[in-house]
Amino acid sequence: MMQRMWLARTGILVAVTIVLGGCASVRPGEAPPSVTAVPAPDCRVARATGDVAAVLRDSRELVIVGGGVELLRSSDLGQSWRREVLPVNCRWPDVAEVGGRLLVSCSEPGAPGRLLVITERAGHGWSAPVVVDATTDLIIDTNLQPLPGGSVLLFATHIDRADDLDNAVYTVRVYRSGAGGDNWSGAEVVTLGRRGEHLEDTRSALLDDGSLLLAYEIETAEAAPSQIHQRRSSDGGRSWSSESVIWSGADTEPGGYLLFPGGELWFVASSDERAGGGSYDRASILMRRSGDGGRSWTAPEILVDREDQISFGGVVFPGGEVLLPSLRHYNERRNRQLSLYVVDRDPTNGARCASTPISADGFETGLGPQWREPSNR
């Protein structure tokens, strides 16, 4: 997926049963997820050119961040939105709420580059960027993970050869803040790839028992079949288990984990497996379920039955519905868009739009009915 990240992830707006250590791909002879009869709606919200991430705050404000960096805010669970430009210019963002404040992480687009975090200041906008790391490496794929007590982890992938991405070493590192994101420890290595092996799209989850899960994609060639690997930590990310494979056999892009009340866990991903190949152009959004904290996973189930999707995980709404942000039409740069779907815990009910759909003509000539006037809040 490095081509996708490197080309234009710059701005937005204008997931067989497996036991830990085994493989969660479809068993030999097992049919891939079936194609449903009626495709999902388009669910376009805005133009997009880069990664997105979403969080539902304790106040029930829904926030989406996009590379560039801008926020979309919604106080009605995605039915209407307002935009906010942030005081930083970087890529590969993530967003989290820590101690009632939003944190946004991102990294500068070139090498040497810096890993940055900005913090929401109640009534006073945003902090100046905190430089978490400065390095000669290219830094991609930031991932914020809040911990109990106001601590937070920041995962980021370092690439030692920014000018030769297919012959580089990719290393996932983690940084730690005990002060709600105001200052950070030095980097600790989580996992180190082999030269020429792309190790991308880190996704994390904190389970009810306090353990951490960390997933990432490994591929050796762009658009070729890839694997999603998982590690587990029982000490707040200071040490990690060996890798297990939780998805393989297709070009699969990690969306992320979703944890439901009661402990059911989903891993959401975009994958071309039901189309038999085609990478981004043929990918739909699927998920696997786990009832034992990620130690075993079901076969994939379809969440969004429309192709040309790149999943960015989801948010569990009160009541159990799930919001699924997706970047669509990646290979059609001028047509890339953010789409927001909503699905039930029973995905056979199909996907629907979070916001009132807008036509292309209506969007070109003005904001649709789901958009509020631009605001800093």
2-365 in CATH: which number?
2.120.10.10
- Do residues 156 and 139 make contact, with C-beta atoms less than 8 angstroms apart? yes
Angle, vertex CA 355, rays to CA 351 and CA 361, nearest 5:
105
Q: What percent of the chain has pLDDT over 90?
A: 66
Region 327-332: what's the mean pLDDT?
90
In the predicted structure, residue 184 carries a pLDDT above the cut 60: yes
pLDDT for 246-292, tens place per residue?
999 888 999 999 999 999 999 999 999 888 888 888 899 999 999 99
- What are the boundaries of each domain within the chain? 2-365
Per-residue pLDDT, 305: 93
Least confident of 19-23, 47-51, 172-176, 305-309: 19-23
Instruction: Give the residue, 23 or 249, on which the prediction is more confident.
Output: 249
Q: What is the mean pLDDT of the chain?
A: 85
Per-residue pLDDT, 8: 31
Rounded to two decimals, what is the model's pTM? 0.86
Per-residue pLDDT, 332: 87
Angle, vertex CA 68, rays to CA 367 and CA 272, nearest 5:
85
Region 352-363: what's the mean pLDDT?
62
Residues 6+ away with beta carbon under 8 Å from 333 = 7, 8, 49
* pLDDT band, residue 201 (cuts 50/70/90): very high
In the predicted structure, residue 139 carries a pLDDT above the cut 60: yes
- Do residues 117 and 104 make contact, with C-beta atoms less than 8 angstroms apart? yes
